[in-house]
Structure formats: C-alpha cells, structure tokens
Structure 1
Amino acid sequence: MMKKTIAIILSLLMILSAVPFTGAFAAEENGAPSDYATEAALYVHAVSGSADTQAWQAWQSVHDEDFEVAKPNEKYFFLPSSAAENTIDVYNGFDAAVTLNGVSIASHATESVAYTAGTAYTVSAGGNNYTLKIMNSNAEGAIYINNPDADGNGTDLMTYLNDTKENSATATGAIVTPDGKIDNTAIKKIKGRGNTSWDKPKKGYNINYDKKVSIAGMEKNKKYSILPNYQDDSLSRNRILYDLSDAVGLPYASDSRYVDFYVNGYYWGSYLMCEKVEPGSLVPEVTDDGYLNEDGTIKEDFPFIAEVDASATEGDYYVTTNNMKITIKAPEVDPGQPGYEEVKNYVKEKFNAFYTATAPSGDLASVADVNSVAKLYLINELGKNWDSGVSSTFFTYRQDENGNYKFYGSPVWDYDNSLGNAKGVQWDLRNIGVTDYEEYTGWWCQHKGKSNASAKRSNNVIARISQNAAVKAVLPRIWFERFMPALDHFTGAKYDKEINADFYTKEAYYGLIKDSAAMNYESGWLLNTGSWIADHSSQNVAHYDSATQKMVVDSQTTNYAQDFEGMYNYASDWMLSRAAWLSEQFAPNYVPSPLLGDADLDGEVNIIDATAIQRHNAGIISLPEEAKVSADVDKDGEVTIIDVTLLQRYFAGIATIKGIGKPIE
C-alpha cells in the first residue's frame, strides 16, 4: 500500500509528463523550473528574481499519511524562509495563460505576483477552478533535491528511494538560506536511513554532496542526515538534546538546523538537517584508513567509532559481544580489504574491556573518559530515552590528552523517543517493573534491559554505566554544574551568553520552527502519529527549589492544546520537570567544585583573587593546592603573572575569558 500510494501522489505531480514542456528552454532565461518539473501546475521559486532552476515547488494539495488527496482542487504554496513577504515568482506550467491575483502569466512563463499569506486566491487553469493558499516558513534553511529519472527508467526520485533503503541515486539541487543565497552543489548520493523510522511514511535520508557545503551556517561538510522527526510532534526533541549535549561539553554533538525539504518540486515537510555521524568531519580523530600503517600493515592501536545497535543485520559491519551487536561505524572496512577481520577483533577486544569496566566496582577510568560517559548517561536519563543502550548509542575510542586510548560517550544520536514522547512497549515495561515510564519522575536507565523486575542489575551498557562507582561519584557535580546552568538558560530566566552559543532558549527554538511546523502539519503530517505516542494533553509541571533541595509540583494542571505550540510546550515542560526531579535526587550528594579564578576559595571571583595570586607569586603567601587549581586561569598547570593579567583584563572588560567564575570540571 505504501509504495502504491507514494507512486500515486508522485504520479499526480507528473501526471502530464507526456504534455510537451514547450517553451522551457526559452523561459529558463527568465527563471523557470528545470526538467524535473513536467506537471501542468503553477510553480513558485524560493527567491524572487532568481534565474536558478532548482529551487522551485509545484502547488500541491493536502494529503493524508497514505498520500491520498481528498480535495485536489485546493492548492498550496509552502514557501521557505527565503521567500519575500509580499511578492513571489510564479511559473505557469499550463498550456494556456493563467491569472493569479490580477497578474496574467503566459503559458510556460514566469511573472512576479503580489500575495498575502493566508489569503485564498482563485485560479482557473487547464479547464478547472482552483483555490491557492500561500504559507510561509521561518526555518533556518531549505533543501531542494531533484532527479526525475533516479533509476534510468523514468522513476521519480522519491518513489525509487522509498521502495527500499538500499536504493541510492545522484541528484541536482539547491541549498537556500533565509537571506536568499542559493548553493547548487550537486548531490553525489542520497539514500534512505533509519531503523524502525524507515517504516513510517515520512522518512529520513543520508545526503552526500559532491563537495563540502554549509547548511544554514553549519560547518562545511559533505555528508548530512536529514531527519523527519515523524514520531515527534514537537519536531524538536532531537535538536534540543543534541544542542544540550554540546552545551554540557560532550564531544562530537551533531550540529543541526530546522529546514524545509522539497524533492522534484514537492514539499515533504519540516525536517532536521544534521551533521552525519562520520569519521573525519564530526569526529576528526577517526578516519577510515587510520587503522593502517604507511606500509599497509595494521596498527597496534587505532581510533574507531562504535554503535550499540540491536538492529544490525548481515549487511552491516559489526561484532557481537556480551549479547550486544556493536556496529563499527569507522573505520568501515569492506570484506576483502586489508584488516577486515583484524579491525573487528580489535573493536571486540576493546569494547569487551570497556563493558567489563562498567561493573559497579570496575576501574572505568582506566579505559574510558568518566565525565563523558557520565554525561551520555545523563542525557539518556533526562530524556528517559527508550532506545538507551539498545540502538543509536555511540562510543568513540581515541587518545586522551595524555596519549592514552579511552572510550568517550559520544556522538549522541536519535532522541525522538525521549522527553515524555513515547508510551514504550507495555509488556517490556511490565517485565522490568517500570510503571511510570511516561512520567517525568522515576529512574529509567538502570532498569532498561533487565531480564525481570527482580533482577539486581541490567546488562544494558548505559544501565551499567549509571551504576558504576566512578560515574556515580561525579554525577551530582556534572548535573548541577553543567546540566542545570544550561537548562536554566533554556527557560530564559537565567540567560547565559556563553551557553547560548551552543544551546538556545525555549522561546528561541520555538521561534525558529513554529511557521515551518505549521506548514508541515497543514500539508498532511498529522500531530497524532499513532498508539506509540503518549498522551500529551496535560501534566502538573514541576520546578526545583534550591533552598529546600526539593522538587515542587504545581497544584494546578497545565493543559496543552493539541496543536504544535501545545506539543512543543509539553515537551519543554516535561524536560524541565524531569530536571527538577533529578535535581532532588542528586542534591544530597552534591559538593560544589571550585570556581575558575576563585583563588581565595570564597565562592566569588573578584579583584581580591587577582591580588591573592600576585601575593602568591611574590612569595608573600602560599596558596593551598585546591586554590592553585582555581588560580590557574589559563589552565597551563602553573600559577603565574599571566593568570593575574587574564583576571585583570576580565575585570576591566577588555577580554572575555571563557570559564571564569564557573566550576572547574
């Protein structure tokens, strides 16, 4: 049914492919769609006055989740954020002139047309009467990908890609930013991605451009993943938790942007364009050939990226250890290449040692960066991530600052089933004894993967990390000194310019996505995505009282409208309420870390601290060892006149010194 319905809607886009696209070459000089546009329809360009041929969208009707159209004569233009607020360039793909809002557009010609968003315009074309409504996005960018002949037999790109995840194709396209800049770098390869999400009608894809490109200000890369967030009615859970991971200092957090996605002139909805989990770009310490010496022999030690992935299949490059499938994301070696078995054996050996060390009394610090795996656990615990330690759980094995190879808990990935979104599998929850999965209270990760409710411990790797003594010792400090400042910033109540470089406020994220979300849901992607999704209609919001070290729950229930704003607020409020519960749990064991620059250890950083460092350097006083750590402002291992100078420049407002006045990790 899925293949058939996709083919139906896409064939509607190309229904008159036999109709000669006369005048196309002449019209292109004035701005017209490329040869992917063969339907008799009206088309709108992303940027007014552009001669670009790629960033065009055909008008389309609202569809259901099987791509069935109930009202084919009601049409929409879903405009990206680059479109002008009051004029658009419209191309007429019909064989006779068409009039739109008083402007006559000749057959196969382009004209500038004034418009008002939300107004329904009447259009007579091809012997039919239509209404046309125009909506505007505010997303950070737009992605256009075009190929009307993906398999060489005339198959439309999305029909071909969605037939099987194994299919891939090349394409032309456009990357468009809100300021109207267009990048026409070609697509070397696009193919489907995802595990359970691949079975949904709105799918995700991996995109490999011919050269490095920037998407809406992201660092240039060739490879990206474009995520549909189909099961997330807030369209934001992945974005928020990726950015939070970045803000708390997890390495390799994927940068991402809200984008609108168009293929062959068809609007596919609001997506999240992300840096792909890849060696060399997102994880620079790992390369696909980094396991080889110059003479082609296998190195004794080398870095790699490994993913705990229960859905790994025969076609994947993986090993099985401790009843877990560990996919080797990099270096990915094909059968027959040098080192194919050696790399697998090496990864298995190192992951075994790591897994063993995650035991409650295991020496985790000898094989892993404790802080980073603790942060990875906290991200999963904060979100109550259903997939925690089961799939999309990545670890990077590389050298630390001392040259020792260790595991780092990152990159983070795939959190649409987090933050109160999913109901979970009920028989599984009953088996492990969790009755409050949908609630923001209660421990989660330590139970995930238990064989039964009475089992003392789980074999799930994140569950084991959560119970390791070294991790438990640092959790309160990391929570209160890294996570809570970021979450307080998210609320907008304690805005922090430094945090905002990585992690925005709740209001800012909403502002970046709300209009794109409106287009997404108006086009046919319904807010209600099935029985897997939890009830998001109401909750009693909680906050943390630092004076009493207790969670305080509102007596009045907050009700959420069943629209995008309501669902976005539900997800945000659930996360902050969950944070309040976790704060209450961690508070009894929290001992504040010294502050960078606080040489006299009085809990404040001021000019007195600069004086203390000067007196120490002059031999008048001797700072205790803990105070020396705080006084070492440039973190070079010594307390010198440079540290005094940095503090003085900071107090004078001459320079911004990162980390001054904040806890030292």
Structure 2
Amino acid sequence: MKKALALLLTILLVAGALPFMSAAAAEGKGTPAAFAADKALYVHAVSDSTDAEAWQAWQSVHDEDFNVEKPNEKYFFLPSSAASDTIDVYNGYDQTVTVNGVTIASHTTEAIPYAADTAYTVTADGSSYTLKMMNSNAEAAVYINNPDADGAGTDLMTYLNADKANSAKATGAIVTPDGAIDNTTVKKIKGRGNTSWDKPKKGYNITYDKKVGIAGMEKNKKYSILPNYQDDSLSRNRILYDLSDAVGMPYASDSRYVDFYVNGYYWGSYLMCEKVEPGSLVPEVSDDGYLNEDGTIKEDFPFIAEVDASAGDDDYWVSASNLKITIKSPEIDPGQPGYDEVKEYVKTKFTAFYNATSTTGNLAAVADVESVAKLYLINELGKNWDSGVSSTFFTYKQDENGVYKFYGSPVWDYDNSLGNAVGVSWDLRTIGVTDYEEYTGWWCQHKGKSSASSKRSSNIIARISRNQQIAAIVPQIWFEDFVPALEHFSGEKIDQTIGSELYTKNEYFTMIEDSAEMNYKSGWLLNTGSWIADHSTLKKATYDKDTQKMIVSSTATRYGQNFTDMYNYAADWMLSRAAWLSEQYAPDYTPSNLLGDANLDGEVDIIDATWIMRNDVGIITFSDEEKNVADVDRDGEADVIDATWIMRWSINIETPYAIGKPIR
C-alpha cells in the first residue's frame, strides 16, 4: 500500500515529476503553491482568485489500489464553489497547452469555458489527453497541502497512511459554495479509526491553528473527517447524528458533506464532523477540569468515556467490569498530575454505572435515564454492529440538581448500521441472530451473549436494553421523539422545529448526490466487499397507527448498483425498521399529556386557551393534571398569560415554550 501511494502523484496525475513553479500568471489569476510539483493542469476552486491553496490537478480514474488503466483520460473533480461554465486552469507544463480553444502559456493561468461531462482534447508534453469536468454539490471543500510531511520529501498522504501514529502540519483551504476561502493553517493532521484504518480510503483527525467554521457549523479547532468507505449511501453517519440531535440527545456531533483534496489530489466525498472532544461539543468537560486551583484532585469531576474493545497501548484506558473504557477527557499522559487518580475514579464510577444497568438495577440513581434510553434506541433502530463494543460514548457530568450522572452521548460511528453490514457469521450463530440484515427482529439485547439461549450479556447496550427503568420509558420516547423525527425525515409530516436539526431524506440526497457521483467515478467502489449486505431488493414497510400494525409491501422494490438506489435503500431500510419497532412498542405506549392541552383531549388548540381563561375567572376549576399541562410558561400558575401563548402558537407565531410537545 505504501508503495502504491508513493507512486500516486507520478502515475495518476501525469508522467514526470519536475518542479516548475513560476510567479508569472495572467492578470488577476493565481498560481498553485509549492505543493504542486508535478507537470499537470490544475484548476482552482474559485474563479478569479489569487489563493494558492485550493488547487487540484487533473487526474485519472483509479482502482482501490490506485492503479490506473487509462492514464490519458483526465478529470477535474470540481467542488461546489466552481462556476458551472468557466474555470481557472493553470498550466504546469513547460510548453503551451490549449483547452477548449483557449491557449494557456507555460506556468500561467487562464479562464476556460466548459460544459460538464464534455470531453475536451488536450495535447501536453507530447501526449494527447481527454479532459472532462464533474461538478460537486457538497456543502464545502477541504484542501490540505504539505509536499514534505516528514522533512525528507515524503508526500503528506503517503506519510500519513504509512502509520496511523504519523502526524504532520499543513497549509490548506476551506472553501464554501459561495466562494469564500479560509486559509487557516492545519496544526496537525493524523489518521483515525480502528478497522476502518485498514481500508484504502481512510479517515483523519484535523486540528487547525485556530477555530474555523465549516459551512455553518459552530467554529472549532478539532474535526474528524470520515471516509464512509463501507457505506455506499455515504450518509448513514450523517443521518443518525442529525436524528440524535432532533430527538434531543446531548452532544450530537454536527457534520457536513465535503469534498477532500490533498496536495492537489481529489480523495473523494467525506463527512466533516465535530470531533468527540471536550469544549464546544461537550462544554461541561475540560482536560484540566479534574484539578482544583491548587493542583490537587477534585473529589468529583466530569469526564467523557468510550466503551472500546480495541483500546490499546496508545490509549488512556481502564478496565471496568471487564470492559475496556477509554478516557477521552481528561486525557492525561503518564507522569502528569492525577494520571492514576483519574483512572481509578473513572473505573469506580463506570463500574457503579455498569452494575446499575442490570435488569432490576436503579439506573436513575447514577444515570440520566432518558438520554441513555435514546442511545439504546439509536443503536436498536440502526441495528448497529458496533453497539456497545466500540464508539459507545458516555458523558459523566452534573444534572440540573448538581448530581453527577452518566449521559448517553455523544453518538458516533454508524456506517455499519441501517442494513449495511452482514456481520460476523460465527458471532451471529453464537448469539442466535438469524435476521441481522433484515429490518425486523430485536438486536441490542442479543449483542454480547455467550450463547443463543442465554438471557445475560456483558455488552453495556444489551444490559441497558433489558433494564426495567429503560423499558418503562422507551415506548413514550419512541413515539413522542423518534416517530415525529422519522416522519419528518420521510417527508410525511414536515416539522419546522425538527427541520432545524434533521433534513428530509430528499434534502440529504440533493446535498450529496453530485459529490457522491464524483466519489464513485474517481475510483471508489459502490460495492466494497463481502462485509456489505445485499442491497438489491427490499419489501418496504409502513406503520398503520389505527391498527398498530406494520404493513409490508407485497412486492419488493429493486435497487440498482448506483448511488441513487443505494441511498434510497438506506433510507427505506431505516423507515421500514421504524415501522417494525412501532409495532413492537405500541402495546406498551400510553401517550403523554401535551403541553397546553388544558382540556386533555389530545390536541392543543384555541379551545384550550378558552379553557384556561374560564379557569382563571373561576367558571371551572382545573385538576392538578389539567393545571400542569395548562401551565405553558412553567411558572406554577395556569393563567391568561398561558392562554395568550397558546393563541400565539395556534396562529403559527413562534414561542419559547414547547407547546404541543409531550410532558414526560
């Protein structure tokens, strides 16, 4: 692999590797920075820009080992910021080149008119090439450049991909569709992932010198850029992260679809995510939050812990109840104050949490039951293969009463969810699961069992799924938080509040479609091996609220081996899975009262406002239950102010209160 990557720029871009930079350029046009040391044509992300970082070289389609069958067929994989009819092209050859009738002198830049997917003939350095342009619609483009990552002339990606422990500085650019360019320096980039690190399209952690925003995301220094290599929809992580946000889980990572370029080479469509870190994502936790001002260890302090069976020597981890628990924050190096004390503290607290997840355990004493239940439901909905094994995070912090408890969040790593993976056959046989790829059947409660007949498991999510306190509230959370969000996702019932956190399935598709086409055209395969389930057919299901039953289509929907169908399969599988879960939870569901439903008829409308005013003047008298739901502003009184809020809400004027939402 290292050898293949070392040949990447010499084989894929164009023969020869002679340095060539020149200050000469057409007036108002820029030239690539020193990272572009190969003879090639280069295109900039933004027309008429003097920026030196957001350049890409033309390249040929490759296979997953970066071999090229047709080196004389070239592409510009253009970001969403590129104009649809004109691009700035830099000629890195020592001779004049003509593209679509425009002559570009050696080492200068010219504006070139073009039409997407049209082949243009180009003669360069004595060879004839065809050149096509493809356009992305991703939310941003990320460029990172360093031609000398190790100080010995090694290209950045060759160096990083040789060893996950390698890291380097870099220059770069973040470019949004409006053409805005942020050239904040990259303080450090290094590889990330466990099993995914062994794949040819890899993920990375990126730390910028200062906080930067990515297409509207809150500004951060640290990001994870995920390849979604094993997910042919490129969207399972994005959708489930956003769904977690929509159902009210704390610390759901915000993310954006981006196109990723390194040293002028297009690496494909990625997902740029807030990294699971203290600070902006988890503001209650900090790496020095365990210390008093005098340097002593606090009696209690917040932390972020990850259940990670693959934790190794490079991680800061403890063993608690035979689980490997990585301490994500505070992360302390050996020899630093509190190294052993923090490990012991986390072990003690997590062991108590684990014990409380037993079937009859008092989970509420040590955990926020609602967020833990939602974490379980996300894993159950997705049939997440890694559920309770890796990337399962819990945050230990104070609740509203100042009591330290575990919260189920942040969510992370769901590419092996939503019918994507086949799983491990021997593992499935052991736990007695024969329908893992199907949208029917329970999953989490079986994960980690020692045998098919066993009712016990050491898996933390399996234990949570069986806890009586969790089971008691799951039906309400499912129908009152998850179902409305999923109805919005399907497009069945659009909810503006939910829409601020979660898009519809059609909106996600529109945001990623063109970027995905570039990703797969450049060489990444839709079918990435035996680990991926059969996505060719599905009998879709819906849920009938009247009968409380799942209705399965009598005919199967067929899906072709293309991005559109693979995306639709993921969305259809999730919604069908939701129908099955609704049927399972329906018998145990009793609807909660709605905030503002003063007459307890199951609806909030102007009649409820009248009801409150009648109570306020003594015509009727509310029961305690009626008063509780009528008290919209939660000030302890049901009065004309609450009636006014309901009237405003009824004519679609936004209010600061969750009128019409369940009170649990």
> TM-score interval w.r.t. the shorter chain?
over 0.9
Instruction: Provide the C-alpha distance between the structure 1 equivalents of 2:195 and 2:9, rounded to a whole number of angstroms.
Output: 24
Unpaired stretches in structure 2, ≥5 consecutive residues: none
RMSD: 1.4
Residue matched to 2:319:
320
Alignment of structure 1 residues 410-421 onto 2, 5 Å: 410-421=409-420
Which one is further off, 644-653 or 225-234? 644-653
Aligned twin of 1:463: 462
Aligned to 2:36: 37
- State whether residues 236 and 415 of structure 2, in contact with CA within 8 Å, keep that contact through their aligned partners in structure 1: yes
Q: Residues 603 and 406 from structure 1, CA distance in 2 versus in 1: closer, same or farther, beyond 3 angstroms? A: same
Length-normalised TM-score, structure 2: 0.98
What corresponds to 1:541 in structure 2? 540
Query: Match of 1:43, SS?
Result: strand
* 1:153–1:25 Cα change, 3 Å: farther
C-alpha distance in 2, partners of 1:17/1:313?
42
Q: Which moved more, 1:81-90 or 1:29-38?
A: 29-38
Partner of 1:112: 111
Distance 1:470 1:501, change over 3 A: same
**1:632 and 2:650 aligned:** no
Cα offset, 1:87, TM superposition: 0.4
Equivalent position of 1:452 in the other structure: 451
Q: 1:52 to 1:594 in 2, by over 3 A?
A: same
Partner of 1:371: 370
Distance 1:620-1:531 versus aligned 2 partners, 3 A rule: same
The answer to whether the 8 Å contact 2:559/2:566 transfers is yes
Cα distance in 2 for partners of 1:507, 1:451 equals 42
Question: For residues 80 and 524 of structure 1, what CA distance do their matches in structure 2 show?
Answer: 17
Provide the C-alpha distance between the structure 2 equivalents of 1:445 and 1:355, rounded to a whole number of angstroms.
16
Question: Are the aligned partners of 1:17 and 1:38 in contact in 2 as well (CA < 8 Å)?
Answer: no
What's the secondary structure of 1:77's corresponding residue? strand
Q: Tell me, what secondary structure is at the counterpart of 2:445?
A: coil
> Which has the larger displacement, 189-198 or 612-621?
612-621
Q: 1:368 to 1:654 in 2, by over 3 A?
A: same
Give distance in 1, aligned partners of 2:25 and 2:78: 25
Letter in 1 for 2:428: L
Shift of 1:600: 1.4
**The residue matched to 2:142 in structure 1 has which SS?**
strand
The change in CA–CA distance for 1:325 and 1:565 in structure 2 (over 3 A counts) is: same
Match of 1:629, SS state, is: helix
Where does 1:563-578 land on structure 2 (aligned, <5 Å)?
563-578=562-577
Amino acid at match of 2:268: G
Distance 1:5 1:311 in 2: 28
TM-score by length of 1: 0.98
Q: Residue 645 of structure 2 aligns to which amino acid in structure 1? A: L
Residues of 1 paired with 2:201 and 2:13: CA distance? 20
Q: Distance in 2 between matches of 1:25 and 1:107?
A: 9
The one-letter amino acid of 1:44's match is: V
What is the DSSP-based 3-state SS (H/G/I as helix, E as strand, rest coil) of the residue aligned with 1:144? strand
Aligned to 1:64: 63
Is the counterpart of residue 93 in structure 1 residue 92 in structure 2? Answer: yes
* 2:597 partner amino acid: D
- What pairs up with 1:165-314 in 2 under 5 angstroms? 165-314=164-313
Q: Check whether the contact 1:28–1:51 (CA below 8 A) recurs between aligned residues.
A: no
Q: Confirm or deny: 8 A CA contact 1:10 1:159 kept in the other structure.
A: no
Which is worse superposed, 6-15 or 437-446? 6-15
Q: What residue in structure 2 maps to residue 337 of structure 1?
A: 336
Are the counterparts in 1 of residues 632 and 657 from structure 2 also a CA contact under 8 Å?
Answer: no
Query: Which string of whole-angstrom CA distances, capped at 9 and with x for unpartnered residues, describes residues 586-640 of structure 1?
Result: 0001000001111111111122222332343445443222222211212344434
State the shift of 1:20 in Å: 4.1
The share of aligned pairs that are identical, in percent, is: 74
Deviations along 1:196-221, one digit per CA (max 9) or x if unpaired, are: 00000000000001111100110111
Preserved contact between residue 237 and residue 571 of structure 1 (Cα < 8 Å): yes
Distance 2:134 2:240 in 1: 29
Q: Which residue of 1 aligns with 2:495?
A: 496
- Cα distance in 1 for partners of 2:617, 2:348 equals 52
Shift of 1:577: 0.6
Once residues 284 and 337 of structure 1 are traced to their aligned partners in structure 2, the CA distance between those partners, rounded to angstroms, is 23
Offset from partner CA, 1:129-187 (integer Å, 9 cap, x none): 00001000000010000000111111100001001010001100000001111111110
CA contact (8 A) 2:168 2:190 kept: yes
Unaligned segments of structure 1, at least 5 residues: none
Q: Is the 8 A contact 2:357 2:463 kept in 1?
A: yes
Give the conservation status (yes or no) of the 8 Å contact 2:17–2:39: no
Where 2:111 maps in the other structure, the secondary structure is strand
> What is the CA-CA distance between 1:4 and the residue it aligns to?
1.1
Within 2, Cα distance between the matches of 1:411 and 1:640?
39
Q: SS in structure 2 opposite 1:282? A: coil
1:458 deviation in Å? 1.1
Structure 1 contact 320–348 (Cα < 8 Å) conserved: yes
C-alpha distance in 2 between matches for 1:664 and 1:96: 73
Q: Distance in 2 between matches of 1:455 and 1:221?
A: 45
Kindly indicate whether the alpha-carbon contact (under 8 Å) linking 1:317 and 1:333 is maintained by their aligned counterparts in 2: yes
Q: Which amino acid aligns with 1:70?
A: E
SS of equivalent residue, structure 1 residue 446: helix
* Deviation per residue, 1:33-80 (Å, 9 max, x gap): 001001110000001111111000000000000000111000000000
Distance 2:20 2:502 in 1: 48
Query: Cα gap change, 1:388/1:3 in structure 2, threshold over 3 Å: closer, same or farther?
Result: same
Give the Cα–Cα distance (whole angstroms) in 1 for the partners of residues 447 and 622 of structure 2: 47
SS in 2 for 1:40: coil
